[in-house]
Amino acid sequence: MPKVEIMPSILAADIGNLEQAVRQCEIAGADQIHLDVMDGVFVPNISMGPAVCEMVNRVTDLPINTHLMLLRPQNYIEAFAKAGSDTILIHIEATCDVLHTLRTIRDFGCGAGLTINPPTPVESIFKTLESGRVDEVLVMSVNPGFGGQSYIEEAETKVAEVRRRYPGIMISIDGGIDLETVKPAAAHGANLFVAGTSLFKAPDMKEAITQMRTNAEEQYGKKL
Ligand code: DX5
Ligand code: ZN
């Protein structure tokens, strides 16, 4: 079983206390910090830039998982790599040379991730995956742009299809993940879980992360 990891999304944190939110995630046992970067074009919202990434990098040693919801991610790889990202994820739906951009991400020493939106058929990423240039596949379980949306369970079929083809690859799922939805997501083969609202609204984040990890480990692969 690939290692199960929980990645809080600080999009759901109090924007006035972002530093504290990062420390809170670390103390609560998070495995990575997920950073949601939005340009107001690829998605109908604007969020955080490289300066926030730098802050996270300064505050914690946890890996930074940077999710670029940008129309032209190729223009920002260097900035986010230099700001301390460990993995940089681009979208298959972006307007860029995906293979080339994935290679650029690795050239900067980061893990390369490929993200797929709910309406996009899973077949559209297979050719890119065959290139061997992808370290992490991020399956969106909401339409990107906002935290706090409901989990779209159709994402599970995509997760399972990717997992059957690539037993060792990192598969993350993002959107509406909580202590319940983490179970079917893991059962279909996801091993990395992005969670914003459910973790930041939990009465005790440490308990929530621990339980989320346990639930995922118990269910992993059961629906494959
Ligand atoms: C959505 C973002 C997600 C979001 C998840 O556009 O990519 O990472 O923050 O938030 P929740 O867990 O609240 O759905
Ligand atoms: Zn995200």
Instruction: Determine, yes or no, domain membership for 64.
Output: yes
Give the Cα separation of 127 and 42 in Å (integer). Answer: 23
Return the percentage of the chain with pLDDT > 90, whole number: 100
Instruction: Determine, yes or no, domain membership for 91.
Output: yes
Instruction: Determine, yes or no, domain membership for 82.
Output: yes
Give the Cα separation of 27 and 38 in Å (integer). Answer: 27
Global pTM reads: 0.98
12 CB near ligand 1 (under 6 Å): yes
Short-list 146, 39, 141, 158, CA closest to 90:
39
Instruction: Determine, yes or no, domain membership for 224.
Output: no
Paired with 66 in beta bridges are 35, 88
Give the Cα separation of 108 and 85 in Å (integer). Answer: 10
Instruction: Determine, yes or no, domain membership for 53.
Output: yes
197 CB near ligand 1 (under 6 Å): yes
Instruction: Determine, yes or no, domain membership for 183.
Output: yes
Return the percentage of the chain with pLDDT > 70, whole number: 100
Mean predicted confidence (pLDDT) in 24-36? 99
37 CB near ligand 1 (under 6 Å): no
How far does residue 189's CA lie from ligand 2's centre (Å)? 18
Short-list 130, 68, 126, CA closest to 101:
68
Instruction: Determine, yes or no, domain membership for 152.
Output: yes
Residue 95: what pLDDT? 98
The rounded mean pLDDT for the chain is 98
Beta-sheet pairing, 192-195 with 5-8:
parallel
| CATH number where 148 lies | 3.20.20.70
Mean predicted confidence (pLDDT) in 100-121? 98
- Domain span at 128: 5-219
- The catalytic residue positions are 36, 174
Instruction: Determine, yes or no, domain membership for 81.
Output: yes
Question: Which of 6, 10, 11, 48 best tests ligand 1's pocket when mutated (most atoms within 8 Å of CB)?
Answer: 11
Number of domains in the chain: 1
Give 146's pLDDT tier (boundaries 50, 70, 90): very high
Residue 189: what pLDDT? 98
